[in-house]
Structure 1
Amino acid sequence: MTDSPSPAASVLHRGLDLMLAKDMPGFLALWHDDATAEFPFAPTGFPRRLDGIAAITDYLIDYPERLDIAEFSEPTVHQSTDPTVVIAEFTSTGTVVATGQPYQMPYIAVLTVRDGKIAHYRDYWDPIVAAAVATNV
């Protein structure tokens, strides 16, 4: 048995580091051109699914201008029986840029990696917190 992280866990950690560094081009480079991002709990006004790197880029490229993420908790990573899939639990804290209000969001993410890049990302977050942030932006 090895203690090295799975490919999916490695990509997850790298992605969180890049988001914390506000390196959105670097973060987006972790995604496949045909990747899919899903947000099953998205409230009205938020996308529930993004298909392809262009849609994902449009959605994420200005993320640091909306939310100034100061910290991610150390993720709890649950390795599936498939080494390309992990389930991660973590919390993001920071500030809503437009209002200066504090931001804290717990996440559960299911990440599938293909050839070292994100192929599918399913993001479960609190729609009440997301809606509150959106009304304050």
Structure 2
Amino acid sequence: MNDDERRAANRALLERVVSLIGTGRHAELAGLYADDYVLELPYSDPPKRLEGRREIAEYLGPKLGTFVFTLALTEVHDCVDPDLLVAEYTSDGHVSTTGKPYRNTYIALWRFRDGKVCGVKEFSNPQVAAEALDPD
């Protein structure tokens, strides 16, 4: 597979992952990630670096019950490295405990290996999440 074909395959995988988030199809979604997947959230409070599907699932599980949302890609930027994409996307949903809307914007570096997502470094506005979680 040449670089252009790898980029196209990785872009298709990114689109599939984003379309599955928020659908409840957790097993299907988990199968798209490498076992040693790394998730970095530098703007979370405190910043996080999570390694492996199990650690990531333990961290995200409770959050996905609180933040109920879907994602929509707005831009995908190719990189020189065919296994790296820069993605911009938005969330649309609500916080289950407050009923407040949750709409955030994200930019992330998505890394791929052997047809799976192996890393995501995601930046979002933590203030949007804090306001949605605030019961007042």
TM range (shorter): 0.7 to 0.9
Q: What stretches of structure 2 of length at least 5 have no aligned partner? A: none
The residue aligned with 1:75 is 74
* Corresponding position of 2:37: 35
> Per-residue CA shift, 1:1-40, capped at 9, x if unaligned?
x799623212211111111322222222211111110011
The answer on whether the counterparts of 1:110 and 1:122 sit within 8 Å (CA) in structure 2 is yes
Aligned 8 A contact 1:24 1:61 in 2: no
Check 1:53–1:90 CA distance in 2 against 1; reply closer, same or farther (3 A cut). Answer: same
Aligned equivalents of 2:9 and 2:40: distance in 1? Answer: 20
* Structure 1 moving runs of 4+ over 4 Å: 2-5
Conserved in 2, the CA contact under 8 Å of 1:7 and 1:84?
no
Write the distance in 2 (CA, Å) between the matches of 1:75 and 1:56: 25
The TM-score normalised by the length of structure 1 is: 0.84
Inter-partner Cα distance in structure 2 for 1:27 and 1:61: 13
Aligned length: 132
- What do you get for the CA RMSD once the two structures are aligned? 2.2
Q: Which residue of structure 1 aligns with residue 111 of structure 2?
A: 112
Q: Percent identity?
A: 30
Higher deviation after alignment, 120-129 or 17-26: 17-26
